[in-house]
Amino acid sequence: MIRFLRWASQRLSRRSSLRASSSWREYSEYVKVHPTAIIDPSASVRILNPPVPPEICLEIGEGSHVYSHFSLLRPSAKIRVGRRCQLGQSHFICADSIEVGDDVIMAWGVTIIDSDNHSPYWSERRHDVERCRKDYIETGGRDLARTHDWSKAKIAKVRIGDKSWIGFNVIILKGVTVGEGAIVGAGSVVTSDVKPWHLGAGNPLTHKRQLSRSRDEANVG
């Protein structure tokens, strides 16, 4: 039995690496994927300004199943996905840190971003497009933020708690913590923390009700 499980794990690891898009092979020095994780062919990763020397920027945990796109904007940016997560075709845009806990379900069309990217003041962002265009040309389209002035943009870590469920087309903005076991309703815009074991929805999100952890608990209540 142990020999069979070892064989199955190795076979799954080979299949996952073969099925993943070429971007995962291109950034293999910067990505750590557990052998039991499945990376769908539709998933992609783009590290605009890779750290030197190479270090792990994106980590996918044990037993997770990923369809998502990951964009890491700065050399210090880090995205960590926990164990047994299923992440639909969504987009993670990271300038600093995005953490996804264990047992998280995320639907399609979700956008998670941990920064504003630009200053709210025109005088401070007036040259942003020019810088992006120059970076894009000089790097052959590989990077559009190499000389971006991040000091004028607000940046704050995003955390998605264990056992949470994020509905489709949700937008989660900088500094947000989604609590353990929380559910975020489809189409919501999340600008502040979501309480653990609560259902939230709307634009902006508001808390609708507390959640039970099991059907038995709900029936007792």
Measure the CA–CA gap between 131 and 205, rounded to whole angstroms: 34
Measure the CA–CA gap between 181 and 197, rounded to whole angstroms: 5
The HSE-up count of residue 133 (CA atoms within 13 Å, CB side) is 5
- Contact 195/179 with Cβ under 8 angstroms? yes
pLDDT of residue 12: 46
Edge-to-edge order in the sheet of strand 177-178 = 31-33, 58-60, 78-81, 97-100, 158-160, 177-178
Q: Which fold has domain 2-116+154-220?
A: UDP N-Acetylglucosamine Acyltransferase; domain 1 (2.160.10)
If one compares 221 and 60, the residue with the highest pLDDT of the two is 60
Q: Where are the domains of the chain?
A: 2-116+154-220
Closest by alpha carbon to 71, among 98, 53, 52?
98
The pLDDT of residue 178 is above 60: yes
Tokens standing for residue 147: 């000389």
pLDDT of residue 221: 59
Measure the CA–CA gap between 24 and 137, rounded to whole angstroms: 23
Flag whether the pTM goes above 0.75.
yes
The residue whose two tokens read 């940046």 is 155
Tell me the pLDDT of the chain averaged across its residues. 90
pLDDT of residue 94: 98
The residue whose two tokens read 């894009």 is 136
- Contact 157/97 with Cβ under 8 angstroms? yes
Q: How confident is the model at residue 136 (pLDDT cuts 50, 70, 90)?
A: very high
Q: How far is CA 178 from CA 20, 40, 72, 133, in A?
A: 29, 25, 21, 35
Q: How confident is the model at residue 20 (pLDDT cuts 50, 70, 90)?
A: low
- Contact 160/183 with Cβ under 8 angstroms? no
Please classify residue 152 by burial: count the beta carbons closer than 10 Å to its beta carbon, then call 0-12 exposed, 13-18 middle and 19+ buried.
middle
CA 196 vs. chain centroid, Å, equals 19
Measure the CA–CA gap between 100 and 164, rounded to whole angstroms: 9
The per-residue pLDDT for range 62-95, each reduced to its tens digit, is: 999 999 999 999 999 999 999 999 999 999 999 9
Residues 52-71 have a mean pLDDT of 97
pLDDT of residue 23: 87
